[in-house]
Amino acid sequence: MKAIKTAIFAATLMSSASVMAAEVSGNVALSSDYFFRGIDQSGGEALSGGFDVAFESGFYVGTWASSIDFSGGLELDYYAGYGGSISDSVSYDVGYLYYGYPQGPTTEEFEEFYGSISFGDATVGFALSDDYYASTGSSTYVYVDYGFALGEDYSLGFHYGNMTADDAANEADDYSVSLSTEAAGLGLDLSWIDSSENGGLFADNQFVLTISKSL
């Protein structure tokens, strides 16, 4: 199944690139920790990176990977979607995302369909899975993001998310506040992350520093 999905992804990328102009971008980041929807994924430092190919039509494809401390130590995701604008201040994004763990069992891998709409500096979005991580049943994640500039050099972002799932162990609200800037060609992001759950792998009033580089 992994090989089939990878082949489909590559074929889509090549066929799309042959008929329209594309913009390729990449990124790499080093973080003091990696949280996903309020749950710790790396247990400490994480190295991540990926690349995207965006076409003039609004269609895009990409892949992203990160070190983790389960499923063999590697997360490798593939995604494809379409984004556009309704007006000067309203835009949308819909797509498909596959979460892969190439060094772990295939039963831990899962897929989601996602969508969001942005109004100026605010974004409301969702992600749906009919069979979430480790075959634990369906899940729904909804979130709200809001960000704005603090002068010319800094920006401040706020996030709230809510996860509901067949497996109650995955359910939680997560919150974060992020302060971002750039220096010497690097992106610097300091985030405060918390969740509605206590104990285990859930975020509990924690700070994460991320240094990133666009390629």
Residue pLDDT, tens place only, 24-40: 999 999 999 999 999 99
Cβ contact 39:107 at 8 Å: no
Chain-centroid distance, C-alpha 214: 16
Residues 6+ apart with CB under 8 A from 199: none
- Other beta carbons within 10 angstroms of residue 101's beta carbon come to 23
CA distance 81 to 170: 26
Instruction: Give the pLDDT score at 184.
Output: 96
**Which range is least confidently modeled, 14-23, 44-53, 55-64, 130-139?**
14-23
Name the one residue in this structure whose structure tokens are 């082949």: 7
Beta-bridged to residue 95, according to DSSP, are 81, 114
CA distance 215 to 205: 32
- Please give the single-letter amino acid code of residue 108: E
Using alpha carbons, select from 68, 57, 54 the residue that is nearest to residue 25: 54
Instruction: Give the pLDDT score at 18.
Output: 47
Instruction: Give the pLDDT score at 59.
Output: 98
73 sits in the region (left: phi over 0; alpha: psi -120 to 50; else beta) called left
CA distance 128 to 142: 9
Q: What is the CATH number of the domain that holds 26?
A: 2.40.160.40
pLDDT value at 180 more than 60 = yes
pLDDT value at 149 more than 80 = yes
Instruction: Give the pLDDT score at 4.
Output: 45
- Residues 131-152, mean pLDDT to the nearest whole number: 96
Higher pLDDT, 50 or 10: 50
Cβ contact 67:50 at 8 Å: no
pLDDT value at 1 more than 50 = no
- Residues 127-134, mean pLDDT to the nearest whole number: 96
Residue 140 sits in which domain range? 2-214
Q: What are phi and psi of 94, to 5 degrees?
A: -135, 150
Looking at every residue in the chain, the average pLDDT score rounds to: 92
Eight-class DSSP state of 6: H
Cβ contact 39:69 at 8 Å: no
Instruction: Give the pLDDT score at 20.
Output: 61
- Please give the single-letter amino acid code of residue 198: N
Instruction: Give the pLDDT score at 21.
Output: 81
Beta-bridged to residue 49, according to DSSP, are 28, 65
pTM: 0.90
Using alpha carbons, select from 174, 173, 178, 172 the residue that is nearest to residue 192: 178
pLDDT value at 173 more than 80 = yes
Q: What is the pLDDT of residues 94-114, one digit of tens each?
A: 999 999 999 999 999 999 999
Total domains in the chain come to 1
pLDDT value at 11 more than 60 = no
Instruction: Give the pLDDT score at 5.
Output: 53
- Other beta carbons within 10 angstroms of residue 95's beta carbon come to 19
